[in-house]
Amino acid sequence: MDGFHMKERDGVVTLHCDALDALGFTRHCFTTRRGGVSRGYLASMNLAYSREDKETVDENYRRLAAAEGFTLRAVSRTRQVHGARILPAPQDPADTGGVDGLVTDKAGVPLAVFTADCAGILLADPRTKSVGAVHSGWRGTAARICAAAVKQMRLLYGSDPEDIVAAVGPSIGPCCFEVGGDVKDAFAAAGFPAGLFSEVPGGKYHLDLWRAVRQTLTDAGLRAENIHICGECTVCHSDLYYSHRATAGRRGNMAAMIEIGGTK
Ligand SMILES: [Zn+2]
């Protein structure tokens, strides 16, 4: 986990990217399963309201916000549909469509995307003081959702991709991401190199999602040295991270969060 470190405060365990911390104008984290009050297969830091009662999830957010210093009342959340739509936060309450990524240049508005094998990606531009958070599974990755987020930061805030720092959190690794030929075809049609896939017995493939995300970000103009991938596979470490595949869908959701305003 080069360039990342774990933090524990009052039982809340989170993962942080050193390069994002070094920028100094944001607070951010990738959550783990540790530190919440959810029980059973949701134990314990489930952050998805769709999976259990509101009171329990509210308490998890309270504990996370207390440990990390997030502005609890202003959290802006995605409504994920495995698409590539990016919206500025705070979101227009009249907009009820799917959104898999958020961007903002407003201080005190934490952005949250949710994962359990899919990649959560955080973006920060220290020059324009703007940030982004992206949910990228294979569909979103094939649709180059990270490039869509960079484009929004360019259009809305005047960001230069060369200034943007990106951090990719815990997600399913090339060791475990078995997919069929349909997924390989979708990436080929989107112009990705065939080298993202390695053949495994049974006519299946292993997809290197991290490399695909890296490719999208470099194609979008980010410098290679500004892209940080933690390399933690959620399936291999399903004791610490929620994993959809490792548990046949019986799991909670982790969050990747970033907020402009101070560090902690
Ligand atoms: Zn793995």
Determine whether domain 4-173+222-260 maps to CATH 3.60.140.10. yes
Cα-to-centroid distance, 230 and ligand 1 (Å) = 13
Cα-to-centroid distance, 74 and ligand 1 (Å) = 34
Radius of gyration of the chain (CA): 17
Query: Using an 8 Å Cβ cutoff, are 203 and 185 in contact?
Result: no
Query: What's at 4, amino acid-wise?
Result: F
Cα-to-centroid distance, 1 and ligand 1 (Å) = 14
Provide the residue ranges of all domains of the chain, joining segments of one domain with +: 4-173+222-260
Task: For 181-209, write each residue's pLDDT tens digit.
Answer: 999 999 999 999 999 999 999 999 999 99
CB-based contacts of 197: which residues, under 8 Å, 6+ apart?
179, 184, 187, 205, 206, 207, 208
Task: For 114-135, write each residue's pLDDT tens digit.
Answer: 999 999 999 999 999 999 999 9
Cα-to-centroid distance, 45 and ligand 1 (Å) = 21
Peptide bond just before 44 cis, omega within 30 deg: yes
Cα-to-centroid distance, 238 and ligand 1 (Å) = 9
CB-based contacts of 255: which residues, under 8 Å, 6+ apart?
30, 31, 47, 64, 112, 113, 114, 115, 120
Cα-to-centroid distance, 171 and ligand 1 (Å) = 9
Cα-to-centroid distance, 72 and ligand 1 (Å) = 33
Per-residue pLDDT of the chain (264 residues; tens, 9 = 90+): 899 999 999 999 999 999 999 999 999 999 999 999 999 999 999 999 999 999 999 999 999 999 999 999 999 999 999 999 999 999 999 999 999 999 999 999 999 999 999 999 999 999 999 999 999 999 999 999 999 999 999 999 999 999 999 999 999 999 999 999 999 999 999 999 999 999 999 999 999 999 999 999 999 999 999 999 999 999 999 999 999 999 999 999 999 999 999 544
Q: For residues 264 and 261, what is the distance between their CA atoms, to the nearest angstrom?
A: 10
Cα-to-centroid distance, 231 and ligand 1 (Å) = 10
Cα-to-centroid distance, 245 and ligand 1 (Å) = 10
Is pTM, for the whole model, over 0.95?
yes
Cα-to-centroid distance, 83 and ligand 1 (Å) = 24
Picking from 137, 140, 205, 134, the residue whose alpha carbon sits closest to that of residue 175 is: 205
Cα-to-centroid distance, 233 and ligand 1 (Å) = 5
Cα-to-centroid distance, 263 and ligand 1 (Å) = 32
Cα-to-centroid distance, 141 and ligand 1 (Å) = 18
CB atoms within 10 A of CB 74: 14
